[in-house]
Amino acid sequence: MTVKMIAVDMDGTFLTSQQDYDREKFKQLYNKMKEQGIRFVVASGNQYYQLKSFFPEIATEISFVAENGAYIVSEGNEIFNGEIDPKTIQKVLQILVNFEEGHIILCGKNSAYVSLNEPDEFVAHGQKYYHRLKKVPDLREVKDDTLFKFALSFPVDQVETVLHQLHVALGDKVIPVSSGHGDVDLIVPGIHKAHGLIKLQELWGVKTEEVAAFGDSGNDLEMLKHAGYSYAMGNGQPEVKAIAKEIISSNDENGVLLKIEELLQN
């Protein structure tokens, strides 16, 4: 059993419900990963600037598949940057007007953007995941950035219905995926976490059967289907548990770190 790349989702997977992780234990495991030549990859729907804040000492050593694969940075170097066509951005914003319960963050390479009309509590929620978040008068006027994702938020009990409605309304312009807790991301077709892992594998010569991946939500499905070793969290969504090769302890029980420890012993 050979693992050369370990990819972890963050919210609901690597991070506990308190938005942290056992830093001392991870430090020991990370040093072992380095000794064994195993690459550590953070694969999340969140913004790169937020993700790297969790790993201040090693942010320039590890890799980030951020924004569900739309922005990839490895060892401080930009590897890939997706983009949604500006006309598609305008069309999607037009369609989203019909989803009255939804709140919108438009995500770009330099920053994420939120309308001045959004309630303060939604903006505060967004700032946890987007450390660069600018308030703008009108999302349709955001021009000077490479835009690659919409991050939407709905009441949790509406998500299943909304996902279906978005699929119908958007066609193949952008793909809606659930990222847990009422959040829905609209991503570029074909650009997801698995696409990000493939880019890094090509860079490093890592085979798919040498990849271990951990996740809990709909935006992890492609990555878990792709990886040679796939692990769903005990707290994961049913469809994620159904496709993973193994279900492990929850994010609040150190599930990821315990499994990594096991993988490093083999």
| CA–CA separation, 84 and 113 (whole Å) | 15
Query: Which among 225, 231, 190, 226 is positioned nearest to 208, based on CA atoms?
Result: 226
Residues 128 and 217 in one domain: no
| CA–CA separation, 69 and 41 (whole Å) | 12
Tell me the per-residue pLDDT of 52-86, one tens digit each, with 9 for 90 and over. 999 999 999 999 999 999 999 999 999 999 999 99
Distances (CA, A) of 66 to 48, 70, 77, 175: 5, 6, 13, 16
Catalytic residues: 9
Query: Which among 132, 159, 139, 168 is positioned nearest to 219, based on CA atoms?
Result: 159
Q: Which residues contact residue 197 at a Cβ distance below 8 angstroms, ignoring those fewer than 6 apart? A: 5, 7, 41, 43, 65, 211, 213, 223, 226, 227
Using an 8 Å Cβ cutoff, are 127 and 117 in contact? no
Residues 42 and 64 in one domain: yes
Percentage of residues of the chain with pLDDT beyond 90 = 89
Average pLDDT, the chain: 95
| pLDDT confidence of residue 181 | 78
| CA–CA separation, 210 and 208 (whole Å) | 5
pTM of the model: 0.92
pLDDT reading at 1 higher than 80: no
Look up the CATH number of the domain holding residue 197: 3.40.50.1000
Residues 170 and 253 in one domain: no
pLDDT reading at 149 higher than 80: yes
How much is the average pLDDT of 140-164? 93
Tell me the per-residue pLDDT of 217-250, one tens digit each, with 9 for 90 and over. 999 999 999 999 999 999 999 999 999 999 999 9
Residues 147 and 215 in one domain: no
Q: Give the total number of structural domains in the chain.
A: 2
| pLDDT confidence of residue 130 | 95
